[in-house]
Amino acid sequence: MSERWARALLSSYRLAGGAVYPLIGTYVAWRASKGKEDRTRRRERYGLAGRERPSGPVIWVHAASVGETIAVVPLVQHIVGYGVNVVLTTGTVTSAHVAEERLGKGVIHQYVPLDLKPAVSRFLDHWQPDLAIIAESEIWPMTILELGSRRVPQVLVNGRLSDRSFKSWKKRAYLAEALFENLAHVVAQSEADGERFQALGARPVTVSGNLKVDTVPPPAEEKALASLQRQIGRRPTWAAVSTHDGEEAVAAEVHAMLRGRHRGLITIIVPRHPERTDAIAAQFTARGLNVARRSAGAKVTADTDILLGDTIGEMGLYLRLTEIAFVGRSLTSEGGQNPLEPAMLDTAVLAGRNVQNFREAYQRLIDSGGAKLVRDRDMLAGAVNFLLVNEVARHEMMAAGAATVDQMRGALAITLRALEPFIQPLVVKARLEGSR
């Protein structure tokens, strides 16, 4: 299919992660992001740059949200180490915070432009990237076509296609081919993902494993960690992290079911979206639960039931306070969240059954004994109770998870090899311009 026809077909559609929506979907996505972006930098969403372009080659790296940003941090660090400029785009305030925390001034951060031709064109006119690296499943048609028309190589790294996305793309195979033929290389997370990309017309495809495995564990501020550990003392704890709507209520119910058996039980609840925590805290209080909100600096006291982790960038802190973690978006929502960070931090991992987006990671952890899937609230309560009671079984599960993560490492090295033909000419160019 010619680019002209592809543009005509896509002029009234937006395909993101394999789902197809009318153009109004772009506006809806923008509206949905309100509250998750920096209002002072909203112009960047329209392609209006907030910084000057540096001299020399520029690589544009895009990572939509927190998980993708964390995954590409080691990759970006390697590129910066080669002496090549990086413009990193993300879509939320939280991911921008993670980029600043982990990469500092080593990269230029911008919010990603909306997938509309004027915004994308302004962005590309200003930054003039020599290479575009896209993380995971961010398939934005106008951006891909604009990069293609400018002959900018595009590489998808840590690529994945969910069951739902793949089915949606297959129904529109002609559109998929028109877009994926613009990708110079796809580096997929798993063999299944690689086969799916190939079936949709992507060439060439390399399977790397998951870049999230090659990241360092999320950090924790030492003084804050020591303070909370003193406040909790020897009280039993468990955590429900990256929770979505409905899962906080389930965690509260599990707490109520177990606190009679485990005196002084502390349940740590970390919602995926902190902006929801006012309503969540109100729900807990209405249930008669005593809540300590981290954002308010509240201390864990003798009568605290719930430590509500409503801060940004402190997942490493919360996970270090417990040895048992339920990972959300898996009971009341679908897709799952990343189980690798809890496993890295020697935590026994529990989750619901809806973990399609992290199928391979969960399968490896389950096979090794590092994770267990639960069907519902009662099964979750039973699993948490068992692990609290059985120290040996809990520690075996923790050790199995950590060992599994170690065995899964290696994706970064494979990804760097796949990127070498695209990056090395830019490294040479940067050195030549720097020597003038």
**44 is known as an active-site residue:** no
Of 185, 221, 245, 177, whose CA–CA distance to 416 is shortest?
A: 185
Any idea what the Cα angle at residue 211 is, between residues 329 and 315, rounded to 5°? 45
Q: What does the alpha-carbon distance between residue 66 and residue 265 come to, in Å, rounded to a whole number? A: 30
> Which one of the listed residues 68, 146, 248, 341 is annotated catalytic?
68
The CA distances from residue 213 to 94, 234, 328, 421, in Å, are 21, 31, 19, 24
Residues contacting residue 40 through CB under 8 Å, at least 6 positions apart: none
User: Residue type for 159, please?
Assistant: G
Could you list the active site residues? 68
